[in-house]
Structure 1
Amino acid sequence: MKPALHVQLKAPSANSVAPSPAPIMNRPLMEYLERNPRDPSRETQYSIAAGADSETQSIRSIPETPGGTRGPDPLMNYTLRPEDIITIKKLGEGSAGTVCKVQHVPTGFVMARKHVRCDPNPDFQRLLQRELKTLDRCHSPWIVTFYGAYMEDDELAICMEYCEGGSMDAVYRRVAEKGQTISENILGKISEAVLNGLVYLHKMHHVIHRDLKPSNIVVTMSGRIKLCDFGVSGDLVNSLAETFVGTSYYMAPERIQGGKYPVQSDVWSLGLTMIEIAQMKNPFPKNLAAFELLHYIVNQPVPSLPEDEPWSSDFRDFLNQCFIKDFMKRPTPEQIMKHPFIEDSSKRSDEEVDMKSWIQHVWDFESPTAQTPKII
């Protein structure tokens, strides 16, 4: 394997000539990662299966092995270079950059690529390298896979797993358009997967997500629920002043009040995320200015499901536990995993709650194995 290449993250000045894009070897990521090699046993334990791309039969995906582990990485022996990557379509765009579905031409492999504008501030660059290191070391069924990154002019291109089912905000909008609802059993599987991801990040990497919301929960066409944007897009994009109101909807009271950011803050955000997916709309009043929204979150009663809707007492209590305003009394992700709503969900088999058939039904994706889902 070729030696890893170090990336100079500092953006060129207006009067300087931009250097050629400097690729980063995706395995290992940077020179400093060579001093902290992977633990192969841990990689096997937390490797994942990327869902096959449903739109283009010729595009190869990581082969799935029995038990849901990931086969050989097709990018293992490649340096990611801009000239080897073509854009298939744009997936989204925000003030911090653009996300596109792309293809690595030498292998035919499909990824999601996110461009993040790089601030020349040294503190930002140190944070960026730390976050990339964390991304590279995450191997979990509940976290999107990081494939590599490279500099292109003054932007960092981050290549991640492409999840064909899209983000949960796109999913619930699609369900609403079809005049359908999302069942509590599906909500249970989503909550269970998100909590597994949060527990993994905290226990294995001492990372708090900090930006949990429906758009940062994605699903593959095989029905796997995964977390994304917990690192670069959480801390770094927020530091670049990404749309404040959009993120502040999911902020816990302690964060709004300027306190520390404990792991329980992610649980508050999970509650808001799940009630939004359940009702297929944001639970807060519309058209609030940023200050009004923050004041509302801290001082007004917490969101709740309408009493006339047929939700179970377990799901209602699960949300109530997420919405405890005093974070010292609010459960951690690991603690709330023991809630009856989550424990009951974990006991339901894939046959009972067929997430694959469900997401394929949502997007009207037809395949030889696709069937009408048992639970919608």
Structure 2
Amino acid sequence: MDCPVRKRFKMLSEAGAGGYGTIFEAKDIVHNKVVVVKRIDHQGKRTQYHNYNEIGILSAISHKNIVTYYDAILYFNEKKNIEEAWIVMEFLQGGSLQECSSALRLGFTHIAYIIREILLALEYLHKMGLAHRDLKSSNVMIGVDGDIKLIDFGLCEDMSSGPRYGTLGSPYWLSPEMIKQQSHSFATDIWSLGVCLIELILGDVPFDTPLKCMFKTATVGLHESIPKDIPEMTKDFLKQCLTQDQFQRPTSSALLQHPWLLVPGLADGIKDALDAIFVSKL
């Protein structure tokens, strides 16, 4: 690095914060461009392992539907007296799928386009042996030009050595196998995709509390949350994503061949529908 971290980046605004750390929109002075900086704690061996895992995965992948990684920097925060990891990524002007689903009722062709783009990212990851494991509406970004990009790889895991165990992720999007702490693999991302699709249709997650959603997911499933008045092809696609048995759930590659994602008009994208949401941010 050519200059100290604080001189290289000018923080413009805080874009989000949570257990993962803090996200900033920043100006990279060295490269003269606006970027996103994910600033996370780097204390303790377990945390460091997860940070290095996320950085390693981001630096190894490249796809049009996945956020672009630029750099990673270890920085000692003297004010807090802790070491931090700063992950630098592309800035995507727009908003999240969560914002989009709550602000606008999209047509089913537009929804199909979004789901297809997410699936293309998942197919790429799965072929690389990676499961995202935290797919949710706030981890999908939609650019003002209609680009769809998957973000936040903090829980992403290499599955080449076999399935994993444990419950991790966000309650509403957890698969049945995750909740029951059974083995899980790529199919858990497909379930989460189904919940994202429900959000796009209904404008919100199914059920009003995370515990109720988790209970339904682990017992009878979420088929009762599928609206009855949606197109049959959409309904069939959603039912396949929300197949209770993970071993019967279709793969990302198989779902990309579903008739719903092959309808005419998908190539037109969704920019025309997004202007009403994001034009105020330009």
Name the TM-score, length of structure 2 as normaliser.
0.86
User: Residue 326 of structure 1: which of 241, 245, 255 is its match?
Assistant: 245
Q: Is the 8 A contact 1:80 1:149 kept in 2?
A: no
1:234, 1:137 → 2: CA distance?
A: 12
Return the offset for 1:172: 2.1
Partner of 1:358 in structure 2? 273
2:42, 2:200 → 1: CA distance?
A: 33
Q: Is the 8 A contact 1:174 1:363 kept in 2?
A: no
Aligned with 1:99: secondary structure?
A: strand
Partner of 1:315 in structure 2? 234
1:354, 1:196 → 2: CA distance?
A: 14
Structure label with greater radius of gyration: 1
2:12, 2:219 → 1: CA distance?
A: 46
User: Within 5 Å, which residues of 2 pair with 1:263-274?
Assistant: 263-274=186-197
2:222, 2:63 → 1: CA distance?
A: 32
- Give 1 or 2: higher strand fraction: 2
Q: Is the 8 A contact 1:80 1:150 kept in 2?
A: no
User: Residue 133 of structure 1: which of 46, 49, 56 is its match?
Assistant: 56
Aligned with 2:279: secondary structure?
A: coil
Aligned with 2:94: secondary structure?
A: coil
Partner of 2:227 in structure 1? 306
User: Within 5 Å, which residues of 2 pair with 1:285-300?
Assistant: 286-288=208-210, 290=211, 292-300=212-220
Q: Which amino acid aligns with 2:91?
A: Y
User: Residue 122 of structure 2: which of 185, 194, 198 is its match?
Assistant: 198
Partner of 2:144 in structure 1? 221
**Cα pair distance change 1:208/1:188, threshold 3 Å:** same
User: Residue 142 of structure 1: which of 57, 60, 65 is its match?
Assistant: 65
Write the deviation string for residues 170-211 of structure 1: whole angstroms up to 9, x where unpaired: 122232xxxxx11101100101000000011111x3110100
Q: Which amino acid aligns with 1:162?
A: F
Partner of 1:43 in structure 2? none
1:362, 1:256 → 2: CA distance?
A: 34
140-149 vs 166-175, which moves further: 166-175
User: Within 5 Å, which residues of 2 pair with 1:80-229?
Assistant: 81-121=5-45, 123-153=46-76, 154-175=83-104, 181-203=105-127, 205-229=128-152
Name the TM-score, length of structure 1 as normaliser.
0.66
Q: Which runs of 5+ in 1 are unaligned?
A: 1-22, 24-77, 176-180, 236-243, 368-376
Partner of 1:335 in structure 2? 254
Write the deviation string for residues 39-96 of structure 1: whole angstroms up to 9, x where unpaired: xxxxxxxxxxxxxxxxxxxxxxxxxxxxxxxxxxxxxxx6783321011111111123
**Cα pair distance change 1:115/1:298, threshold 3 Å:** same
Q: Which runs of 5+ in 2 are unaligned?
A: 77-82, 158-166
Q: Is the 8 A contact 1:82 1:152 kept in 2?
A: no
**Cα pair distance change 1:274/1:125, threshold 3 Å:** same
User: Residue 178 of structure 2: which of 255, 258, 272 is its match?
Assistant: 255
Q: Is the 8 A contact 2:66 2:151 kept in 1?
A: yes
293-302 vs 207-216, which moves further: 293-302
Aligned with 1:90: secondary structure?
A: strand
Aligned with 1:254: secondary structure?
A: helix
Q: Is the 8 A contact 1:360 1:366 kept in 2?
A: no
Aligned with 1:329: secondary structure?
A: coil
- Give 1 or 2: higher helix fraction: 2
Q: Is the 8 A contact 2:41 2:47 kept in 1?
A: no
Instruction: Report the RMSD for the aligned CA atoms in angstroms.
Output: 2.3
Q: Which amino acid aligns with 1:343?
A: L
**Cα pair distance change 1:354/1:257, threshold 3 Å:** closer
Q: Which amino acid aligns with 1:157?
A: W
